[in-house]
Chains A and B, each alone.
Chain A
């Protein structure tokens, strides 16, 4: 069935409106007791610790590859000593948060979408509503909070491992000691790099959790709906991440002169 352009546009705005309403409901519920603390910890463990290996490996390879790829160009300009500054700033400011968030979008948003989607399909959510438990509070709030809190931690660990990978390349190929490398990295970094990046990753985490939960919570009926929910959760979350990143860079530009 093919929709007209007007309908598509209408559906897009409806979805944005629904998502905004969903986010508003989250903020309303998150401050209201009772708090599902145990469930929050469980979700934090599943989203944080379980993603750690993936994030570490990706971060390490990104640092390694970025350094290896930039080396020839920097050598051509005689600026290979600026490698720590360049890699440090690019990883901490942009690459670390965005790549970690994208990986988490792939792993966590799809997971949440599929989990909540299948719960919706098997009418578990409806059963919870009937039995008097607040499914939104138990399922959605804990998950969004968990991603929001865990993503900055994953980002900082990913950054550290990426910088280690970069330092390893410089150490092996360029005879730069680890101490000198990290001295230079922290020489180049400022609070204007670290604070916006960390703040940004909170929003990234929130976006991932929000989109995953939204897509799963409003899953269409039928087993096909679960697949669609998981798939659209990843696609929508990734797209929204870049949008959030765009906004975040503009906002941080106001506070910290680039």
Chain B
């Protein structure tokens, strides 16, 4: 009896696991098609649905938010697609959102893609109809491609003309291609260039060697760069400079004070510069001296002509003449 109970228990567990799996799978599949949960329905009108089927996904900004419920033909060029959307999307989709039909990858199934608009309109309410945009169809692409092809054909015809005239040596480019003289001169030019570049190269090598030969260690620059003693010297020189500049500052201060004193009327210099009486005295004195010198000159002239001193002056004149002649020779 106990064995049977155990068997039945195991059987029960097995049955429950199996049933749960079936129910779970059914739920998950249904959940994907929005069969459970709160949904609302909106529609969009297209003139071509490109093979969309009921059950295809509806995406809002790339997120799967619902499925296509059904597709109904209204008239020969308008098709209404009803969609079931999750209710929580009600507060995101606005009236200016645009529905387009696209495909999930190159080979994937078709889907409706809802792109948000500018976001200025009010939110959608269940039953609204969204604006649509027709999808780029292969047919249109092919017709555009056809025009491109025609253009390409014209272009290639022109290109053919150009290449033909090139081959016949017309125009500058044709000459470049066909003229042998020009080719040789071009060759010459290039070889000259090559030569020049070789020479430049050797010159550069020489320069390099010269640069290498310059003894950096014993030059002034080297000492400056490497010698610590001269560095210290420079340091001491700089410190001397500093003290000197300090002293100069003091001197300048002194001079400043002196100048101030001078301005304030102290000392001899000030007396010299500011006292006008003294200047007048000096003026008269100098005038007197001038007059004195003049009378002295007259006296001397008189002395020259005096018989007592005439001989001496003549001798002086002669000696002067001789010296001038000597100098001339």
Which residues of A pack against B, CB within 8 Å?
Answer: 38, 41-42, 44-45, 48-49, 52, 79, 152-154, 156-157, 159-160, 186-187, 189-191, 193-194, 198
The interface residues of chain B lying within 8 Å CB-to-CB of A194 are 22, 25-26, 29
B4-30 interface mask toward A, CB cutoff 8 Å, 1 = contact, 0 = none?
Answer: 100110110011011101100110111
Q: Which of B70-114 contact A (CB under 8 A)?
A: 107
One of B11, B18, B22, B33 near A190 (C-beta < 8 A) = B33
CB-based A-B contact count at 8 angstroms: 61
Are B18's CB and A156's CB within 8 A? Answer: yes
Which of chain A's residues has its CB closest to B6's CB? A45
Closest 8 CB pairs of A and B: A153-B18, A45-B7, A186-B28, A45-B11, A156-B21, A156-B22, A189-B29, A49-B14
Are B25's CB and A156's CB within 8 A? Answer: yes
CB of B136 to closest CB in A, whole Å: 23
Which of chain A's residues has its CB closest to B26's CB? A194
Which residues of B pack against A, CB within 8 Å?
Answer: 4, 7-8, 10-11, 14-15, 17-19, 21-22, 25-26, 28-33, 55, 107
Are B21's CB and A157's CB within 8 A? Answer: yes
Are A153's CB and B15's CB within 8 A? Answer: yes
Are A157's CB and B11's CB within 8 A? Answer: no
Determine which residue in B8, B22, B29, B107 has the highest number of CB atoms from chain A within 10 A of its CB, and name it.
Answer: B29
Bound CA–CA A190/B67 (angstroms): 13
Bound CA–CA A212/B57 (angstroms): 46
Are A44's CB and B25's CB within 8 A? Answer: no
Which of chain A's residues has its CB closest to B57's CB? A187
Bound CA–CA A159/B22 (angstroms): 10
> 19 A–B contact pairs at CB < 8 A?
A38-B4, A41-B4, A41-B8, A42-B4, A44-B11, A49-B14, A52-B14, A152-B22, A153-B17, A153-B19, A156-B22, A156-B25, A157-B17, A189-B32, A194-B22, A194-B25, A194-B26, A194-B29, A198-B22
The interface residues of chain B lying within 8 Å CB-to-CB of A42 are 4, 7
The interface residues of chain A lying within 8 Å CB-to-CB of B107 are 79
Are B18's CB and A49's CB within 8 A? Answer: no
The interface residues of chain A lying within 8 Å CB-to-CB of B14 are 48-49, 52, 153
Determine which residue in A38, A79, A159, A194 has the highest number of CB atoms from chain B within 10 A of its CB, and name it.
Answer: A194
CB of B181 to closest CB in A, whole Å: 58
The interface residues of chain A lying within 8 Å CB-to-CB of B7 are 41-42, 45, 49
Are A186's CB and B11's CB within 8 A? Answer: no
CB of B151 to closest CB in A, whole Å: 33
